[in-house]
Structure 1
Amino acid sequence: MHSPLERSLPSLSLLLFLWIISSISITTTFRPAKAFNVTTLTFGESYSPLFSKFNIRRSPDDRTVSLLLNRLSGSGIISSDYYNYGFFSASIKMPSKYTAGIVVAFYTSNVDTFEKNHDELDIEFLGNVPGKAWRFQTNMYGNGSVSRGREERYRMWFDPSKDSHRYSILWTPTNIIFYVDEIPIREVVRNAAMRGDYPSKPMSVYATIWDASSWATSGGKRKVNYRFQPFIAEFKDLVLEGCIVDPVDQILSSNCTDTAAALMAKDYSTVTPETRKSMRWFRQRHMYYSYCYDTRRYPVPPPECVILPSEREMFTSSGRPKSKTRAGGSQRRRSTKRRSKAAVDLSRHQAAM
């Protein structure tokens, strides 16, 4: 017969193992990958108020700008220049507490100059309900192709209201990459069959916060609750790298040719085999809608879509996930085992970067 202590050893061993795994996850999950080599700007060097200047707050050193939403209005900023291709980035901290119905957006557009045939690249955060994972989407329009939106939606693997994280848009003549920190989450490679659907006209860079109660969270079921106002989105580490142009003339100088070539030679302009593993990990675990797999909407996938069997098996014909877990239920309902496995997986991928 075994003593009570001997009988408890397997349980103690299991607890010790789980504690070690948990410790590894905590210490490595949030270890930053190698940062991009970029130059950050002050607000005055890079942006101007777009609307509701009274809801825009600049830090004393002018390197952080806070955009507020309250009952009076949302707010927004716009880059002081237009760019013909570029790398645009900001470290953003989302509003905290109850943020359902609120959209925080970081995007490029030229709709103010090309109203009927504008281009646009979007990163939009879709508000949040406490206890659930934050959701966000990326989208692309070219030459006014608003009826052919190319949106993908994802769940965050962290709480973006706790700390600032870097969100970036790379736009070159040959490819577009969306980044969260240094992890590429989506790449669009230019295809000749896309024609004008590939953004090609000079664009400004925008950051906004606004009330989107009608659609942003749970299809509009969750509205903005102004008892928690003001809602504050903080932007810092502002990066605008590209060729400054006149959007009307669109006469590209040799300097723009040189700038585009230099941009395409940067480390963030290529998805390497190592970072592609991270992108695949992210998309398989956290993407919950893709237009490329929405065969009801697009019986023939748009030409830039690269259909991966590992992704296709995740989705129904509506482009939505087969599994409720992939759709992103409450974080509280997930088991400890699933959380630990996801954390370990992320640790492995970030360690490889």
Structure 2
Amino acid sequence: MAAFATKQSMLLLSSSLLLLIGVSTGSFYDNFDITWGDGRANIFESGHLLTCTLDKISGSGFQSKKEYLFGKIDMKMKLVAGNSAGTVTAYYLSSKGETWDEIDFEFLGNVTGQPYVLHTNVFTGGKGNREMQFYLWFDPTADFHTYTVLWNPLNIIFLVDGIPIRVFKNNEAHGVAYPKSQPMKIYSSLWEADDWATQGGRVKTDWTNAPFSASYRSFNDVDCCSRTSVWNWVTCNANSNSWMWTTLNSNQLGQMKWVQDDYMIYNYCNDFKRFPQGLPTECNLG
């Protein structure tokens, strides 16, 4: 009965949200605006390929035209090849304001032959400090791979090529804030952060390798609720969208355990030195 009541309350929450079900053509022209870089970000192949570049003068970036409040959002990315030390390719969702919410993928470059670090984080009400970091089980610079955020009233699931690597659950019942009311846009950028990005800032960017480039394809936001302006919200029917109630099944839990056992290199929930007064509440919940 408790589980039924919880789902019923979630249904009421979601049915009360005024949202527009976003259906994407996949075209970067239709879905994104290049926001900075002075010509260093460009769209090619009739809108199906976007590239960001970084040189010693500037990086570049883009953002979505729409805002999202829950959704399953896919992007294929190919990261900076070769010696990418000091570079960061950021791909994330974020709201505005001092108490913003945010869901982060950040790819920290490395020297040739060393693995990229996939850095993930979740912010609620302007508070983050929920970092988990991974190596990848493939070379993310050799080809495109799919990075997915599935965000619904129950949980946020980070997936790589359909394999879940991390889940942040809705634990509001235990006093943990959860992003559910602030619409977020999608942002991505390629920028230089050699004061911290590679081995804690010990390895600096080698500008003889510039310009650096990251590429994007196959954006998909068909399974989402979104708006293009504050004036066009319509009801998003949670009952007709199965992704609104998706959680991990037993097979996916096994996949996530494999990734976390073999490829996780940092978990804030294991960092007792960082939290001497006790780990964050969600770390002690199932």
Give me the TM-score of the superposition, normalised by structure 1. Answer: 0.69
Aligned-CA RMSD value: 2.3
List per-residue Cα deviations over 1:39-74 (Å, max 9, x = no partner): 661001211112114011211321110011112211
Contact kept? 2:154, 2:247, Cα under 8 Å: no
- Of 238, 248, 253, the residue aligned with 1:271 is 248
Contact 2:29 2:43 in 1 (8 A): no
Residues 218/120 of structure 1: CA separation in 2 closer, same or farther (3 Å cut): same
Q: Deviations over 1:323-348 (max 9, x none)?
A: xxxxxxxxxxxxxxxxxxxxxxxxxx
Percent identity, aligned pairs only?
33
1:132, CA displacement in angstroms? 1.6
Note if contact 2:91-2:106 (Cα within 8 Å) is conserved in structure 1: yes
Q: Which has the higher helix share?
A: 1
Distance 1:135 1:230, change over 3 A: same
Cα-to-partner distance string for 1:60-109 (whole Å, 9 max, x where unaligned): 32111001111221111100011111122210001111100100011000
In structure 1, what residue type is equivalent to 2:122? M
Flag the 1:194–1:42 CA change in 2: closer, same or farther, 3 A: farther
Of residues 276, 279, 284, the one that matches 1:301 is 279
In the alignment, what sits opposite 1:137?
119
Superposition map of 1:156-175 within 5 A? 156-175=136-155
Aligned residues: 261
Answering whether residue 206 of structure 2 is matched by residue 225 of structure 1, we say yes
CA distance in 1, matches of 2:152, 2:196: 31
**C-alpha distance in 1 between matches for 2:58 and 2:115:** 26
- Following the alignment from structure 1 to structure 2, what is the Cα–Cα distance between the partners of residues 227 and 175? 43
TM-score after normalising by structure 2: 0.84
Of 130, 142, 165 in structure 2, the residue corresponding to residue 185 of structure 1 is 165
- The CA distance in 2 between the partners of 1:95 and 1:70, in whole Å, is 12
Bigger fraction of residues in strand: 2
Unaligned runs of 5+ in 1: 1-37, 309-353
- 1:145 and 1:197 in contact (8 A); partners too: no
- Following TM superposition, by how much is the alpha carbon of 1:289 offset from its aligned partner in structure 2, in angstroms? 0.8
Match in the other structure for 1:292: 269
Q: Aligned partners of 2:244 and 2:134: how far apart in 1?
A: 25
Partner residue in 2 for 1:236: 217
Residue aligning to 2:8: none
Distance 1:229 1:133 in 2: 19
CA distance in 2, matches of 1:184, 1:107: 17
- For structure 2, which runs of at least 5 residues remain unmatched after alignment? 1-22
Task: Give 1:304 shift.
Answer: 2.4
Question: Which of the two has higher C-alpha Rg?
Answer: 1
C-alpha contact (below 8 Å) 1:133/1:157 kept by paired residues: no
Q: Give the superposition deviation at 1:239.
A: 1.6
In structure 2, what is the equivalent of residue 325 of structure 1?
none
Q: 1:144 Cα shift?
A: 1.0
Shift of 1:296: 2.4
